[in-house]
């Protein structure tokens, strides 16, 4: 049964009608709200391409149901900055991290969640367990260490 809910996404309250409150947040973000920066990779919480911040926690949007997001602030890659001026985005650019870029939004969001939790530099790397088929891990490590 369809439900109309309000989600706070990137600081803006958005009303959306979803077919099921158990629907993964990922599909609501991408298909209903048009925020395509959050990617679908594996669907089983392994690759990390779908990582967003819900409240103060990083979540895999591919398995996090939309009903659990109601009343919490959701931050996607689009919510960090519109011009790549966010410190994590700048570190990625300055260190030429992205190649194909598919996994990068998720890694950036994990890094930002770690920063919000008070972790810095090398501590953040413990949270960056996502898969990157381009193998830019050394560049990611350099970018993260500088934060």
Cα–Cα nearest to 106, from 31, 23, 27, 47? 47
- The per-residue pLDDT for range 93-124, each reduced to its tens digit, is 999 998 888 888 999 999 999 999 999 888 89
Domain ranges in the chain are 3-78, 87-145
Element containing residue 94 per DSSP (H, E): helix 87-94
Rounded average pLDDT over 120-145 = 85
User: Which class in CATH covers the domain with range 3-78?
Assistant: alpha beta
- The per-residue pLDDT for range 31-61, each reduced to its tens digit, is 999 999 999 999 998 889 999 999 999 999 9
Could you say which architecture CATH assigns to the domain 87-145? Orthogonal Bundle (1.10)
Tell me, what's the pLDDT at 52? 98
Tell me, what's the pLDDT at 112? 96
Cα–Cα nearest to 29, from 75, 72, 68, 71? 75
Return mean pLDDT, the chain: 93
Q: Which two tokens stand for residue 136?
A: 């830019």
Q: Is the pLDDT at 131 greater than 90, yes or no?
A: no
């Amino acid at each position: 049964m369809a439900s109309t809910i309000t989600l706070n996404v990137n600081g803006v309250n958005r009303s959306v009608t979803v077919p099921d409150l158990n629907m993964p947040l990922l599909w609501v973000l991408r298909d209903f709200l048009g925020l395509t920066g959050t990617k679908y990779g594996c669907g089983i919480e392994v690759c990390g391409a779908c990582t967003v911040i819900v409240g103060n926690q990083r979540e895999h949007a591919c398995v996090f149901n939309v009903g659990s997001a109601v009343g919490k602030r959701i931050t996607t890659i689009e919510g960090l900055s519109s011009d790549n001026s966010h410190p994590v985005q700048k570190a990625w650019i300055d260190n030429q991290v992205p190649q194909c870029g598919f996994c990068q939004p998720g890694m950036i969001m994990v890094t930002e969640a770690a920063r919000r939790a008070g972790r810095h530099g090398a501590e953040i790397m413990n949270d960056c367990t996502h898969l990157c088929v381009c193998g830019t891990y050394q560049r990611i490590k350099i970018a993260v260490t500088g934060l």
